A and B are shown apart, each in its own frame.
Chain A
Amino acid sequence: MSTGGVRLESATKRYGEFTAVSEIDLQIPGGSYYCLLGPSGSGKSTILRLIAGLETLTAGRVLIGDADVSTVPANRRPVHTVFQSYALFPRMSVFDNVAYGLRAQRAGSRGEIAARVHGALAQVRLAGSEDRRPAQLSGGMQQRVALARALVNRPDVLLLDEPLGALDLKLRREMQDELVRLQRESETTFVHVTHDQEECFACASEVAVMRLGAIEQVGRPRDVYRHPATEFAAAFLGSANILAATIVSGRGDGVYRVRWDGGELDAGGPPGLGGDRAAALVIRPEELEVAAAPVDGDGWLDGTLLDLLEAASTVRLRIAVRGLQLLAERSASDVGAFAVGDSVAVRVTPGGGWLVDSAPSATGIAQPPSDEPARAGGRP
């Protein structure tokens, strides 16, 4: 049996003049691994603190399971938090850290508490570290203590605030798998706040993309990636070429005829965009085919290779095409033939474009909107 979910109803949090979270409605299903994804300042950590009860709502309601907990203090809510950089108690041993919540809530006899603490530490593979101090542990181990300290209390909802931000890449990947395993084993609702889209893909069954205190889009990570609702969602979850385009006509089945600087193509999009109007065309880097020499064929465009960024299994190509800069991503095995400065040919994979409703200001460069930090890097 999985635990209850969380519901926010018109949740608003203001600090004086500043609105951190604005009229948010959010439904987090019980037992899900839910991710709140957004740049700093998007209000995602505030939402976590509102659910935990560490901040009080200015307006609206928070429900955990079916109970309205809006006015319940933090220490009486059935949720626990893994804090950013852990907030372990530095003067206490690992055992005392993990036992803290059980003791505070008088959750059993000394023996029962000890048994549960040992169990929780075993669950995060830290058996034997009971007597050590947090300062004597590596970052990854501290992270596990923080997880055990929260999970040992069997919360209905576990809140994770940028839990992997302080770890190096290899450890982060390991912990992602570990978090997913713990979530399945404990059948607890996990709410994970991050600005890292990779983390989101690795862990979450559902994601809410946030921006400036509001929710931009909700869905499965894969769906949001393939069918972003806004330019911001497109740019923040993965990288994207976002291009100014004009809808020539709509066929009524979510496929549109679109004209952009590179010609005309068919692209998917949300229903009801209509025809003969401006929109933004989103093309994921892997949806651009690249040939090492000019190709005389339908949809192929001549370009110049500006830059070549190699990763382990892929390579990213920055290509100048008709005054635009396009970002393409190909398998590393395809790339032997390319050199910077070469003439190349580019084509959008059939069905590889997606339309979002937008002002016609897009510049054609793979960049998120300017009011947010750019995070074009990373591989989805």
Chain B
Amino acid sequence: MKTTVRIVAFIGFAIMIAPLIAVIVNAFNANVLLSNWGGFTTHWFTDAVDDSGVRSAAGQSVEIAALVTALSAVIGTLAVAFNAYAPRWVQRLTSSLTITRVMVPEVIMAAGLVLLMPKLGFTFGIVVLGQTVWAVAFFIAILGARRAGFDRRLEDAGRDLGASAWRVLGTIVLPDLLPGIIAGALLTFTFSFDDVVTTVFLSGASTMTLPTTILARIRRGITPEINAVGVLVMLVTIILLALATVVSGQLVPGQEGTEI
């Protein structure tokens, strides 16, 4: 029994990381055709960094991800902070809408956005807005969990002591939410940075991000350079995820003071 479980777990894990291993190994493969191992090289990384198409795509990706993250963080934080004051039915409605947006296949969301935005043309701004529509849902889902654990009596205490709703938000609620906001922002950044579907639907040919560039080039055949780009993207994602984990884990709510 125990061994069977272990074997199944091992196979499952192997299947999960096999594609990543393949990309990483081939990023260092000197054989252009990638048909077999041609020796170790870092040549493809220099190629990738020197490639103007890759560089501009990377720039686009960072710009879009930064804007999407900023928008999501502001909208999401306000939504989470104030949703708690809304009547119960509003809270239930907004939380099911948020979950729906997280669950509904991105293709459908993207198709819907295309329908809504034909007149506006396919531009950089539309990509940012389109990604924000679903990125903010992820952000709210992440931050909402932290808000739900917040001791509401502290807000009562703030109000009771004469602070306005905004002051209570700024001095009591936001300081407590801050680690969640940072973690949520880092995750939102990786979601946006990796996004293909919404970007492809809304950008046409004019806005090329790193993932859409990889996709476009893979159609013409996988090159070692693409693998190198893939490894770089992976690195960025892993670093951001690690940061998010550290931030949200380290600054766990200051509940030590409110214990009874």
Binding site for B on A (CB under 8 A): 52-54, 73-76, 79-81, 83, 85, 87-91, 100-101, 104-105, 133-135, 149-150, 153, 166
Contacts and interface: CB of A to CB of B under 8 A. Distances in A.
B157 A81 contact: yes
Contact of B175 (A80, A91, A150): A91
Contacts of A85: 153, 258, 260
Interface string B21-55: 00000000000000000000000000000000000
A81 B161 CA distance: 8
Contacts of B171: 100
A89 B154 contact: yes
A135 B257 CA distance: 4
A74 B163 CA distance: 9
A54 B257 contact: no
A52 B257 contact: no
B158 interface: yes
Interface of chain B, main secondary structure: helix
Given A83-B153, A87-B154, A104-B167, A149 B161 contact: yes
B151 to A, nearest CB: 7
B162 A104 contact: yes
A104 B258 contact: no
Given A81-B157, A87-B156, A89-B154, A75 B255 contact: no
A73 B166 CA distance: 14
B: interface residue count bin: 20 to 34
A83 B153 CA distance: 8
A10 to B, nearest CB: 24
Interface in B158-179: 158-164, 167, 171-172, 175-176
B260 A101 contact: no
Interface string B68-80: 0000000000000
B257 A101 contact: no
Given A54-B156, A83-B153, A91-B176, A153 B258 contact: no
19 contacts: A54-B159, A75-B163, A76-B162, A81-B156, A81-B160, A85-B258, A88-B258, A89-B158, A89-B172, A90-B154, A100-B158, A101-B161, A101-B162, A104-B162, A134-B258, A135-B256, A135-B259, A153-B162, A166-B260
Contacts of B163: 75, 100-101, 104
A74 B151 CA distance: 18
B118 interface: no
A153 B259 CA distance: 25
A83 B156 contact: yes
